[in-house]
Amino acid sequence: MTDVRILGTGAYVPDRVVSNDEAGAAAGVDDAWITGKTQIRERRWAADGQATSDLAAAAGRAALESAGITPGQLSVIVVATSTPDRPQPPTAAYVQHRLGAAGAAAFDVNAVCSGEVFALTAVEGILARHGGHALVIGADLYSRILNPLDRKTVVLFGDGAGAMVLGRTGHGARVRHVAHHTFGELTDLIQVPAGGSRLPLGQEALQAGGQYFTMDGRAVRRFVEDRLPQLTKQFLHEAGVAPDDISHFVPHQANGVMLDTVFAELALSRATMHLTLTRYGNTGAASVPITLDEAARAGALRPGELVLLAGFGGGMAAGFALLEW
C-alpha cells in the first residue's frame, strides 16, 4: 500500500453540445442507430480556437482548486493524451506555462484511452520517492482527427479533460494498488496511420485519409469483452480484495452497451458503475478522470469505500487503479 493520495479532482468539457443527429449526419446514421449501439446521446466538441492544452489547463485549475493547492506547489505535471497540441513539444509544457507552474517538470504520456491510469502510476512512483505534489491530467480532442464519413468512429468520440492532484500529505483517496498491461501484437486495431516517423503526413498520406483515427470496432469489442474481465479479476486478486469489496467502478467510457456486458461479467455485486458517456461520449484519456470527478463532486463516493478505475484502449492496453476513498 502506498501513501500517495488523490487530494482533488477537476474536469472540463467544451461548451459546444453535438447531438447524435449532427455527429452522424455525414456518415448516414441517426440518433436511434447511435443510441441503440452505444447509449451515447450527445458529446462536446471543441471550438475552432481550442487545443488539447486549453482543455487540460482548465481541468487542472479545477483540480488545484479542489485540492487547495497552488500551481507554485506543483513539482510535476503529466498530461496523458493521444491528441497533443503538436508532435512536440509536450502538451504538458503548454499546460505548465498556462497554469504558471514554473517550478514543475512537465511531460506527456501516450497510452491512448488507458493514459490517465498509466500516468497516475508514473506520478505515484515519483511522489513516493521524492514527495511534493503532482497534477495528472487526461485530455483528448478527438474531434480534430475523426473522419466524418466513418460511422464506426465519428459518433463515439467527444472532447474533454479530467485531472487529479496527488500528494503524500493531507486527506484524500489513497492509491492502494495499480497494474498495467500492453498487448503490442494488437497495435493495428486502433491507430492514426500517418503523422509519425513510419508514415510522415505528406500529400499522399492526406489523400489516403491517413490523418484520421481508425478502429477495428469488432476486434476491439472482442478484446474488451474477452480480456478485461479476466484482467480485472486478476488485479483484484493481486490487490487482496474480493469483488464484493468494491463499491464503485469507474471504467473508460468506450461504449455503454459493451460496458453493460463487461460489468455483468465482473460480478461486482455491490458496486455502482459510473457512466458519463451518455452526455460526453468517449473522451479518450479524459474519460476516467472526468467520470471520477463527477462522482466525487456529486458526493457519491464515501470515506473508506473502494473505487476501481479501469482504462483500456489502443496499444492494445489496459490499466487499473484501486483507490480507498
Question: Which DSSP letter does residue 34 get?
Answer: H
pLDDT of residue 220: 94
Q: Which fold has domain 5-171?
A: Peroxisomal Thiolase; Chain A, domain 1 (3.40.47)
Cα separations in angstroms, 91 against 81, 86, 95, 121? 8, 7, 7, 19
CA end-to-end distance (rounded Å), the chain:
14
Burial readout 46-69 (b: 16 or more C-beta within 10 A, e: otherwise): beeebbbbbbbbbbbbbbbebbeb
Nearest to 174 by CA among 182, 164, 184, 187: 164
pLDDT of residue 90: 97
- Beta-carbon contacts of residue 7 (< 8 Å; ≥ 6 apart): 66, 67, 68, 69, 133, 165, 166, 167, 170, 171, 172
Please identify every stretch of the chain with a pLDDT value under 50, giving residue numbers as ranges.
1
DSSP codes of every residue in 204-271: HHHHTTTTS-EE-HHHHHHHHHHHHHHHHHHHHHHHT--GGGEEEEEE--S-HHHHHHHHHHHT-TTP
Q: Which residue has the cell 474531434?
A: 143
Backbone angles phi, psi at 19, to 5 degrees: -75, 165
Nearest to 255 by CA among 158, 137, 173: 158
Q: Which residues are catalytic?
A: 113, 252, 282
Q: Which fold has domain 176-324?
A: Peroxisomal Thiolase; Chain A, domain 1 (3.40.47)
| CA separation for the pair 165, 192 (Å, rounded) | 30
pLDDT of residue 1: 47
pLDDT of residue 172: 86
Domain ranges of the chain: 5-171, 176-324
- Beta-carbon contacts of residue 243 (< 8 Å; ≥ 6 apart): 233, 236, 266, 267, 268, 269, 271
pLDDT of residue 2: 60
Task: Reduce the DSSP state of residue 124 to 3 states and report it.
Answer: helix
5-171 matches 176-324 in fold? yes
106: β partners: 77
